[in-house]
Amino acid sequence: MKKPSALVLTGYGINCDYETEFALGNAGFEPKRIHINDIISGREDLDDYHLLSFPGGFSYGDDLGAGKALANKIQNAKIADKKFNQLLQKFIDSGKLIIGICNGFQIMVKLGLLPAFGEKYFVQDVTLTFNDSGRFEDRWINLKANPGSKCIFTRGIDKIDLPIRHGEGKFIVRDAITLQQLKENSQIVLQYADENCVPTMSYPQNPNGSIEGIAGICNASGRVFGLMPHPEAHTFFFNHPNWTRIREQHQRQGLKIPEEGAGLKVFKNAFGYAVENLV
């Protein structure tokens, strides 16, 4: 069986590319880290891949706001006689997958890849800005997945623990109508949750003050997904900070001790979709 391929973007301060490449490979993809300039120069062709990943990091040192500079670079780049944006539009229209994690999510919303109401891309309706705490937040959090979401990446996920590490993760919307559209279209995918897995606005469970506790959204098709937490950092069971306690609980209850981390399912879902629909 031919493996679906994944392009992991790198360059200019992206620094979670190796972990993302590893997670995609573990999920079954044939991943490849590619510098953004190799796409712009034409040395690499976006059309050759089935999934595009915008990994986490601090692109351009967060100058102009997290993700803004790299979003501008993509917005204004030309590849041969076409704009980079046109190639991204073609990539999406052909049914392929895009995931943006942390800084990648920031890039995507500032580029206008999300939420893309009415499949209208490259229009910014939401953003991610400075945490209410005024500081960099670095810890594990609880997340509740929206069962009504069409998101390919979160199929079969009800709740999940993932790490966050960001200074600009507060999700805000243009206006009340924008928030209502996100809700009506079921484009809210993940929300920060309390110990009972109920979405919350309370700190520290909500680490940044995101409206409605929003941690991740998708486009209407569910194939374009962005989130602030890091699924690539929870691909093994022992990545979880409480793994020894969880292991003990499983042993006492006679349950099988998992080998995989919960975050790997995000990438396995994408792999399953790609195998069924793209190769």
Q: Is there a catalytic annotation at residue 102?
A: yes
* DSSP string covering 111-154: HT-SS-GGG--S---EEEE--TTSS-EEEEEEEEE-TT---GGG
Report angle CA 57, 61, 67 to the nearest 5 degrees: 65
Q: Report the chain's C-alpha Rg in angstroms.
A: 18
Query: With contact defined as beta carbons under 8 Å apart, do 230 and 263 qualify?
Result: yes
Catalytic residue among 16, 50, 166, 230: 230
Question: How many CA atoms lie within 13 Å of 89's alpha carbon, on the beta-carbon side?
Answer: 13
Report angle CA 228, 150, 147 to the nearest 5 degrees: 80
Q: Is there a catalytic annotation at residue 232?
A: yes
209: tokens are: 């003050």
Catalytic residue among 19, 44, 168, 232: 232
Give dist(CA 88, CA 170) in Å, integer.
Answer: 26
DSSP, collapsed to helix, strand or coil, labels residue 89 as helix
Catalytic residue among 102, 137, 168, 218: 102
Give dist(CA 113, CA 105) in Å, integer.
Answer: 9
DSSP state of 2: P
Q: Is there a catalytic annotation at residue 151?
A: no
Give dist(CA 232, CA 18) in Å, integer.
Answer: 10
Query: With contact defined as beta carbons under 8 Å apart, do 106 and 227 qualify?
Result: no
Taking residue 237's Cβ as centre, other Cβ atoms within 10 Å add up to: 17
Catalytic residues: 102, 230, 232
